[in-house]
Structure formats: C-alpha cells, structure tokens
C-alpha cells in the first residue's frame, strides 16, 4: 500500500517544519475557537495548513542550500573522506575490504596509497563512484532499515539547521506582534483567556529560540552525516549485496559420452 506521504518526507521534512514554525503555529492557533465552527476558525485553520506546507518546502530548500557548506567544512563527503588511505577512521584491513568491494562492483582497480597521494582527485572520484553505487543499491528500506533510519536522521538535522535562521526571525516577529497586542490591550488581564494564550505564545517563542541556539548545531549534522556514512560503508558486508560473491565459479561443462552396456547372455 502506497501512502501519500512517505516516512522520509514525514520525519525529515515535515517534522522539522513543525519544529521550526512552532511559534507561528501557536500564534495562529490562539485565534481558533475550538468549541465550535466559525468563519474565523476556517480562516485560521487554512492559515495553519498553508504555513505547514510553506515551512515543509522551506525546510527542504534550506537544507539543500546549506549542504555544500557543511560538506566543505567536513573536507568532503564523510564516505569519501573515510575511504581515503590517509584517514584514520578505519584500520587498513577494514578499509581494504571496502576498497575491494567497490572495485569488484565498479569493475576497476582501487587506488593504492601512493596513487592516492599522487592524484587525490582521481582517488576521490573512485570513492565517490563507489558510494554512489552503494546509495543506488541500498534503497530497499526493508533490507537496509538501519541505513534508512540514519539517512532520515541526517535529513532531519540538516533541514532543521537550514530553518534555524528563518525560525529565529519568525520568533522575533511573533514576540514583537504579541507585545504590540499587549500594548494595544493594556492593561493585561491574565484572567482573560486570549491574553493568557498570548503570554503562552511568547513563552513558547522564547523556549523555542533557546532550543534552536543550544541544540540545533552544525556539529549535530556532522555527527548524523558520519553515522550515515559508517552505515553505508558497512552495507558492503550485507548478504543482500554479496550474493554473487558467495557463489563459487561455475564448474566447466563436460560432454558426457554414452557408454553402451554389454548384452548379457541369458542362460549362460
């Protein structure tokens, strides 16, 4: 059964959109009278849906926009970096296994340490072709569920980081608008449900800003990216990608000669 919104879109795009736009959603929600249906409810509800869709699209676009800078700060894609001979993430034996697998699948020799030193760009091109092959052949979520979850986690953190600056701007706008409403309605009466909800929105915006500042960081994206890269390289050991290599060479076919049986004399 196919769902209109898949797991990746939900967790890596829509959830960051909800988190990034939480103060704006909360502000719009205070204009909805939850006890009944009215024109203001329809307007506010429509605004919520529109905001939700806009933030989901912005999350995706902003996540992709900041990705080149993230890759540059990590000195390349983590899969490419960890496949380099000079990178200490994996021991020589483990790395040799990765290289051998990629070389077998691509049908070309892996660069040696000396070749990598002499022409690092050509070596990186080989590693990138290998990881591209791995990504293309590990799309089955059921067979590579751990890898899929790592990819979702990376997408979530990257997209949320992309929304960080727009979210700060929205926080500032929401707080200023709420303060303006309080000034217009002065004195503030917390016994009034609208004023109380307006104060809650300000608190949400402040907590939201603190969360963005403390927990939505480039370092979190780096960690998720490296975790995904590790799982992608470990997929080279998966039986789903090594079915052909487990089979031994086929035995050569030999022509069988038909041997005639001697006729036994009866009654001898």
- pLDDT computed for residue 145 by the predictor: 93
What pLDDT was estimated at residue 40? 63
Tell me what pLDDT residue 263 has. 37
Q: What is the pLDDT of residue 38?
A: 60
Our CA dihedral for 27, 31, 35, 36, rounded to 10 degrees, sits at -130
Q: How far is CA 219 from the centre of its chain?
A: 15
Low-confidence ranges of the chain (pLDDT < 70): 1-5, 32-41, 44-45, 188-189, 244-268
Find all residues with CB under 8 Å of 235, minimum gap 6, and list them: 134, 138, 144, 147, 241
Can you give the pTM of this predicted structure? Answer: 0.80
Pick left, alpha or beta for residue 216 (phi over 0 → left; psi -120 to 50 → alpha; otherwise beta).
Answer: beta
CB 216 within 8 A of CB 125: no
- The per-residue pLDDT for range 212-251, each reduced to its tens digit, is 999 999 999 999 999 999 999 999 999 988 876 544 433 3
| Alpha helices per DSSP H over 74-112 | 78-83, 92-106
C-alpha dihedral (184, 186, 191, 192), degrees to nearest 10:
-20
């Amino acid at each position: 059964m196919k769902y209109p919104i898949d797991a990746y879109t939900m967790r890596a795009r829509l959830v960051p959109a909800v988190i990034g736009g939480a103060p704006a959603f909360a502000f719009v929600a205070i204009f909805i009278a939850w006890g009944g249906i009215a024109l203001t409810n329809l307007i506010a509800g429509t605004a919520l849906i529109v905001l939700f869709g806009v933030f989901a699209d912005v999350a995706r676009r902003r996540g992709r926009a900041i990705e080149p800078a993230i890759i540059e700060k990590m000195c390349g894609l983590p899969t490419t970096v960890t496949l380099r001979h000079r990178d200490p993430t994996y021991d020589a034996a483990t790395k040799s296994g990765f290289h051998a697998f990629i070389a077998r699948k691509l049908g070309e020799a892996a660069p040696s340490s000396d070749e990598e030193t002499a022409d690092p760009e050509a070596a990186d091109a080989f590693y990138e072709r290998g990881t591209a092959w791995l990504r293309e052949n590990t799309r089955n979520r059921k067979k590579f569920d751990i890898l899929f979850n790592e990819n979702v986690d990376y997408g979530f953190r990257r997209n949320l980081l992309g929304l960080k600056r727009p979210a700060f701007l929205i926080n500032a706008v929401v707080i200023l608008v709420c303060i303006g409403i309080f000034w217009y309605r002065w004195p503030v009466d917390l016994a009034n449900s609208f004023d109380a909800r307006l104060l809650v929105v300000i608190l949400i915006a402040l907590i939201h800003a603190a969360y963005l500042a403390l927990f939505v960081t480039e370092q979190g994206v780096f960690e998720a990216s490296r975790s995904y890269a590790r799982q992608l390289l470990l997929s080279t050991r998966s039986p789903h990608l090594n079915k052909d290599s487990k089979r031994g060479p086929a035995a050569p076919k030999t022509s069988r000669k038909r041997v005639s049986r001697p006729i036994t004399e009866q009654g001898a």
